[in-house]
């Protein structure tokens, strides 16, 4: 793992290594791949890094896991013809991972300014302090040091305070939310979500048989108070999911007065509020009021992950809840998440020594600069074809076609030119945002963005519906 690629993320080097292993076996039979422990020892990286690389390959349909057996690679001929359905999200995922593609649809803000090097250096230092010592007692909800750091970070007053026992850490955000859905018994229940909403959250709720009611964000970014009241009056709602700060993928933020009015409305109804804080620290300017500042902790749960701010070397998700503690502890024990204690300690130290806050200042500045450059390019190249929401944070730009177009056909046309976009319909389960798409403004390496935007403009023109 040393040499020319030592400046890469460790998981990217592992990903490339696994790709080469898969490519070596051409045939019609499945191939068993090395175990997490074998690869960790062979490549001199952590097990969590190996696990993340495998998870990427699983999402792409390149590998699959068998309980108590390990990971297997699909036959190479099957890979090229794996996707044959009409699932747009699957098509985005698969094509975004193909070599040579210019991906205009990503949402990976931390890749612009990762914190992987300080994290890995600190992890090595901790490994010297804790040389493979067996953990004295199991911590199924996560390493106590990290849970304590998160509880302190979210505490703002003696009333709005959190403790380590209120924090639950899982291997990734999906696993944490699956546990949340189980504990709250949301199968068949009604959940209200802001729309547009992250496609991973929507698919997760859909797969869990949760009834999703979408609450569209207004053009100016405020939340529609009357619409929410109608949804809450129409039928019993168990959970309302709200953004902590930024609504993503729009990148917009509701005003503080609007949020206070929404919080007052929610207090009148018997439902829990689930605050999505994945992008809470990625606003370009100073942070405003959060729902957790307005609602009592007994009515609120907060979820987030480290991946959007620290990077893919910190894939863990977490939940803050003062509800059902015994049930959460039991289900996290049953899930038996495989978490690296040393990496969790390293993340905790990055918070406690102020390194994360320093990193966030630089990351926000770089995100804002890349946003300005991308918007200027959009205005120059596509000002007469697209209308966009100027984001207040994050790594994406939400745009709408000024012509009525078939965005799916635009997507397919761009694939022929090795360009991937994210159609707006992915961010709704009810057919909303059909004329929208999400673009990224963060890129690694050299790309012909002007040329790609020219291709996008041509596709929008050719697929216009009269």
Q: Which domains does the chain have, with CATH numbers?
A: 3-82 (1.10.10.10), 102-107+358-462 (3.90.1150.10), 119-353 (3.40.640.10)
How far, in Å, CA of 143 to CA of 79, rounded? Answer: 38
Joined tokens for residue 442? 């963060």
Please name the residue that has the structure tokens 């994406």. 396
Q: Are 131 and 465 in contact (CB under 8 A)?
A: no
Q: Are β-strands 419-420 and 102-103 bridged in parallel, bridged antiparallel, or unpaired?
A: parallel
How far, in Å, CA of 195 to CA of 210, rounded? Answer: 16
Nearest Cα neighbor of 45 from 78, 77, 12 is 12
Q: Give strand pairing partners of 72.
A: 32, 64
178: part of which helix (H) or strand (E)?
helix 173-184
Please name the residue that has the structure tokens 């699959």. 64
How far, in Å, CA of 5 to CA of 7, rounded? Answer: 5
How far, in Å, CA of 85 to CA of 73, rounded? Answer: 21
Cα atoms in the 13 Å half-sphere on the side-chain side of 321: 25
User: ∠ at Cα 113 (366, 92), nearest 5°?
Assistant: 95
How far, in Å, CA of 123 to CA of 82, rounded? Answer: 38
Q: Is 405 left (phi over 0), alpha (psi -120 to 50) or beta?
A: beta
Task: Kindly report whether the global pTM for this prediction surpasses the value 0.85.
Answer: no
* DSSP letter, residue 85: S
Query: Can you give the pLDDT at residue 85?
Result: 59
Q: Which residues of 331-361 are buried (b: 16+ CB within 10 A; e: fewer)?
A: bbeebebebbbbbbbbbbbbbeeebbeebbe
Strands (E), 239-391: 239-243, 246-247, 252-253, 272-276, 300-305, 317-321, 386-389
For 30, residues 6+ apart whose C-beta sits below 8 A from its C-beta are 72, 73, 74, 75
How far, in Å, CA of 202 to CA of 183, rounded? Answer: 18
- pLDDT tens for the 466 residues of the chain, in order: 434 333 345 777 787 788 777 766 655 567 788 888 888 888 888 887 888 788 777 766 678 777 777 888 876 544 444 444 578 988 898 888 777 788 999 899 988 888 888 888 898 888 888 766 555 567 889 999 999 999 999 998 888 899 999 999 999 999 999 999 999 999 999 999 999 999 999 999 999 999 999 999 999 899 999 999 999 999 999 999 999 989 999 999 999 999 999 999 999 998 999 999 999 999 998 778 999 999 988 889 999 999 999 988 898 999 999 989 999 999 999 988 878 888 999 999 999 999 999 999 999 999 999 999 999 999 999 999 999 989 999 999 999 999 999 999 999 999 999 899 999 999 999 999 999 999 999 876 567 888 999 999 999 999 998 7
Give the helix, strand, coil percentages of the chain, each rounded to 5. Answer: 45, 15, 40
Nearest Cα neighbor of 426 from 31, 150, 93 is 93
């Amino acid at each position: 793992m040393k040499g020319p690629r030592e400046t890469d993320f460790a998981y990217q080097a592992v990903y490339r290594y696994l790709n080469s292993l898969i490519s070596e076996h051409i045939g019609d039979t499945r191939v068993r791949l090395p175990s997490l422990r074998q690869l960790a020892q062979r490549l001199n990286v952590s097990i969590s890094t190996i696990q993340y690389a495998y998870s990427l390959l699983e999402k792409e349909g390149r590998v699959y896991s068998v309980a108590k057996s390990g990971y297997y690679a699909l036959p190479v001929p099957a890979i090229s013809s794996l996707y044959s359905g009409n699932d747009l999200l699957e098509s985005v995922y698969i094509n975004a991972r193909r070599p040579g593609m210019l991906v205009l649809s990503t949402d990976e803000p931390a890749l612009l300014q990762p914190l992987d090097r300080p994290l890995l250096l600190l992890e090595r230092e901790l490994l010297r302090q804790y040389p493979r010592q067996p953990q004295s007692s199991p911590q199924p909800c996560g390493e106590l040091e990290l849970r304590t750091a998160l509880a302190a970070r979210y505490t703002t007053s003696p009333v709005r305070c959190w403790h380590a026992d209120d924090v639950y850490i899982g291997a990734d955000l999906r696993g944490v939310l699956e546990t949340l859905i189980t504990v709250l018994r949301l199968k068949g229940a009604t959940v209200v979500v802001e729309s547009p909403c992250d496609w991973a959250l929507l698919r997760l709720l859909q797969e869990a048989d949760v009834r999703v009611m979408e609450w569209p964000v207004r053009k100016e970014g405020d939340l529609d108070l009357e619409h929410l009241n109608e949804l809450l009056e129409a039928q019993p709602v168990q959970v309302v999911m709200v953004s902590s700060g930024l609504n993503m993928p729009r990148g917009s933020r509701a005003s503080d007065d609007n949020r206070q009015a929404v919080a007052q409305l929610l207090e009148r109804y018997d439902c829990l509020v689930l605050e999505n804080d994945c992008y809470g620290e990625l606003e370009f300017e100073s942070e405003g009021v959060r729902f957790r500042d307005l609602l009592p902790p007994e009515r609120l749960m907060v979820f987030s992950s480290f991946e959007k701010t620290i990077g893919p070397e910190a894939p863990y998700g977490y939940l803050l809840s003062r509800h059902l503690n015994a049930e959460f502890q039991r289900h996290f024990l049953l899930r038996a998440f495989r978490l690296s204690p040393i990496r969790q300690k390293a993340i905790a130290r990055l918070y406690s020594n102020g390194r994360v806050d320093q990193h966030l200042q630089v990351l926000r500045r770089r995100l804002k600069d890349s946003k300005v450059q991308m918007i200027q390019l959009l205005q120059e190249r596509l000002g007469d074809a697209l209308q966009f929401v100027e984001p207040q944070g994050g790594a994406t730009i939400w745009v709408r076609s000024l012509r009525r177009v078939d965005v799916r056909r635009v997507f397919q046309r761009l694939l022929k030119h090795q360009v991937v976009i994210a159609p707006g319909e992915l961010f709704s389960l009810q057919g909303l945002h059909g004329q929208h798409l999400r673009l990224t403004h963060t890129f690694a390496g050299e790309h012909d963005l002007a040329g790609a935007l020219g291709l996008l403009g041509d596709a929008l023109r050719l697929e216009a519906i009269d």
